[in-house]
Structure 1
Amino acid sequence: MQDRLLNTTECKTDSFCKPQLPGCYNNACRHFIRSPIPYVADDGQLSADVFKIHSTNAKNVLTVPRLYFPCGRNRLVDGLASGVTGMAGLGRTRVSLPAQLSSYFKFDNKFGLCLSSSTRSSGAVFFGDGPYTLLPNVDASSSLTYTPLIVNPFVVFGENADASSKYYIGVKSIKVNGKHVKGYNETLLSVDDQGEGETVISTVNPYTIMNTSIYKAIEAAFVKAMPKNVEKVTNVAPFGACFSSKNIRSTRLGPDVPSIDLVLQSKNVWRINGANSMVKVKKNVLCLGFVDAGPLGPNRENVVIGGHQIEDNPLQFDISASRLGFS
């Protein structure tokens, strides 16, 4: 969630601080909450409670005596998985969970994230620096490549304190199977003088969504690069390029299909292989897991890198150094 924190010292006399949600927290500060799933906004209240979290060795439980969080109506969590009653705010704000933990424990404001591609295993979030031990004796934080995180200089929804709570990266060009993708304006990958465009990373969107011209160019290049013995089949919504998997062999990096490279501002390359580019929609059918978002995507962003594309890919969001680490 993206939050606007009010000064709690002013809440004793400010008429804005009145009990609004008796079942939530009495006599608290009124608080504006915006939830991305579903995308709704509502009044809530600022609350605080004791927060406990395991250390990375899983042996110690660390305690934060007062962690702040917004508390709102049930409709703010409609659409979440069964049994889920809230969300952890990991955005680039001063009151996010990483920011509060780093402030209390006095470590650099950074966190590592690895989403699981399986419903049978959990992902992981690490607050602070490594080691990020995802496999026995393997520190995922030791082999990361970095690219700058970009702050959108334009105010978002009038929140002057946190003009950009999202994680933007600079993508300069895109390649499919090592070949430069043409047919779209590459300036669409960067923020323009109105604060529109850019490339953002999101765990809210299940798949990467793109401006129509970018999507069409990548789809055409991907279809062209697919081996001739792989049959294109009827599309399955919301995807626009689907294939029979009968002649696609499996590898440890997923289906053996053309790779997609994001050439970044740092000149490093974020490679998307078959495990993260393809989605199995039914027996013997794989689809390119990118979605056409129209002329300008949701929230006026041209590329939103979604959850499927970052699964099993350790990421480090280093807010202190303003950089993203990826494997």
Structure 2
Amino acid sequence: MSTPPLFFFFFFLISFPLYSLQTALIAPLYKHHTSLLYSISLHLKTPLRPASLYLDLGGAFSWIHCYQNYNSSSYKFVLCNTPLSNSFNQAICGSCVQAPSPICANDTIFSYAYPENPSLRDHFVDYDHPKLTDSENVITDVLALSTTGGSTSAPLRRIPEFPFACVKTNFLREVAKNVIGLAALGRSNLSIPSVISAKFSSPKYFAICLSGARSGPGVAFFGSKGPYRFSPNVDLSKSLTYTPLLFNPVSASIYTYWLPSYEYYVGLSAIRINGKVVPFNTSLLSFEPIHGRGGAKISTSTNYALLRSSIYRAFATVFMKEAVVLNFKLINAVEPFGVCYEAKSVGVTAEGQAKAPVVDLVMEKEKVVWKLGGRNTMVRIKKKGVDAWCLGFINGGEFPRTPIVIGGLQMEDHLLQFDLENFRFGFSSSALKEGTSCSKFDFTSANNTFF
């Protein structure tokens, strides 16, 4: 495993003053049940106002819609030839075409490189005719998150001069209503976890616990190795299992393709269903050095796992054989799913989850196994007279850039920790088996004290 360039984490330590951070920073994570995507709830601007940003686990740089009704006394443009401006790749130092205004200033940084809609990733890219983003200036403003000792939320902590790309309305296509931007959590030095670590000299760790429940949000932790406690006093950090984070040598972005990817890849070596090995060509998971095809990544940009067609067909075949043993009754599939079963033929747990064949994601040649039960493999569909349980793994096409993408459904109710100091990925057993869930973090003590 190679060590990533220092570019990814430390370049702008010099541009951020250090503050003391005694506790972790946290934020609620919401699932939008129409788009099936996730957002993070935090505070922005001066005076501080609540904001909802799209959660992009593999994003390099956060962006915000600032062309309409953006009012804040603390926002600034990033001037040319400053330490922060020098940490950007492909940024352009320029001036306004028209007269300077609240959304444009002379001798400041324009970024056409970093902001992107995550839906553009994993598509084949024509590098000679790229579809350019429509970003403008880079700005900084105040971002604030709650603090925690590991089990409850506490006062808000301000993060001054947090960098964003200022984007136009078209960037908000395909994101949930009321979302005004994107929160990047990738391994870039400009992502939220890296900025927090640089500003507060805190451990280079963050963790997410996604909730699919309508009863409550999940939670993100920044700047702490743990504990991560959920009601009734269950510390999910104690059940973490670790595997190395791998580095795809080529970024999926058309703007920084010469750099290693900002996304998180793991060394998946096999898939088993009820102990039966899914037969597929594992060489597909090796990274192709020119365009970065290959690998298995973890992504919040898709709710369901995406499998290359050849892998999907093998996976579905083994799953269906195991489902026959459980007397699941196959019915016509409901899009976008390829395999569905009559709901009344599928047994359910006390929590209302399917009693389904167990899927093992095997890493490090049998040494590390991420087990997924029915909570993370099947989806209940009730619509237009259909009541079905469908396999939550989707055919991702014949030649996707990434053959295996582990999506949001697979992550829900598992605590996931990203250790950027030791370049490893930690995952807990299902929180449901631990007697809790990702929706059971206590946010009730949050208040309006700022510091």
TM-score normalised by structure 1 residue count: 0.90
Post-superposition CA distance 1:136-170 (Å, at most 9, x none): 42222222001110011235435278521000001
1:7–1:163 distance in 2 versus 1, CA, 3 Å: farther
Aligned residue in 2 for 1:153: 249
Find 1:42's aligned residue among 115, 134, 138: 134
Aligned residue in 2 for 1:190: 286
The count of corresponding residues between Structure 1 and Structure 2 is 323
Deviation at 1:37, TM superposition (A): 4.5
1:173–1:71 distance in 2 versus 1, CA, 3 Å: same
Aligned residue in 1 for 2:81: 10
Write out aligned runs for 1:78-227 (5 A): 78-129=173-224, 130-156=226-252, 157-159=254-256, 162-182=259-279, 184-194=280-290, 195-227=292-324
Identity within the alignment, %: 34
Q: Is the 8 A contact 1:110 1:128 kept in 2?
A: yes
Post-superposition CA distance 1:72-120 (Å, at most 9, x none): 1111111211111011111111100000001111112221001111133
Aligned to 1:281, what secondary structure does the other structure show? strand
Deviation at 1:190, TM superposition (A): 3.0
Aligned to 1:224, what secondary structure does the other structure show? helix
Aligned equivalents of 1:164 and 1:204: distance in 2?
A: 15
Aligned equivalents of 1:247 and 1:81: distance in 2?
A: 34
Q: Is the 8 A contact 1:93 1:162 kept in 2?
A: no
Aligned equivalents of 2:258 and 2:274: distance in 1?
A: 42
Aligned residue in 2 for 1:294: 397
Q: Is the 8 A contact 1:2 1:35 kept in 2?
A: no
* Counterpart code for 2:262: S
Aligned residue in 2 for 1:65: 160
Aligned equivalents of 2:62 and 2:160: distance in 1?
A: 21
- State the superposition RMSD in angstroms: 2.6
Q: Is the 8 A contact 2:247 2:261 kept in 1?
A: yes
1:311 matches 2:412: yes
Aligned equivalents of 2:358 and 2:368: distance in 1?
A: 15
Deviation at 1:135, TM superposition (A): 2.4
Aligned equivalents of 2:236 and 2:209: distance in 1?
A: 10
Post-superposition CA distance 1:269-326 (Å, at most 9, x none): 01111011001122531110111111122xx110111111111111001112111110
1:49–1:263 distance in 2 versus 1, CA, 3 Å: same
Aligned equivalents of 1:289 and 1:160: distance in 2?
A: 31
What are the ranges of 5 or more consecutive residues in structure 2 without an aligned counterpart?
1-58, 64-76, 86-90, 122-130, 429-451
Q: Is the 8 A contact 2:80 2:93 kept in 1?
A: no
Aligned equivalents of 1:136 and 1:22: distance in 2?
A: 52
Deviation at 1:218, TM superposition (A): 0.4
Post-superposition CA distance 1:192-215 (Å, at most 9, x none): 344211101100111110111100
Aligned residue in 2 for 1:53: 145
1:160–1:236 distance in 2 versus 1, CA, 3 Å: closer
Post-superposition CA distance 1:213-246 (Å, at most 9, x none): 1000000000001134221000111111111121
Structure number with the bigger relative contact order (C-alpha 8 A, sep ≥ 6) is 2
TM-score normalised by structure 2 residue count: 0.67
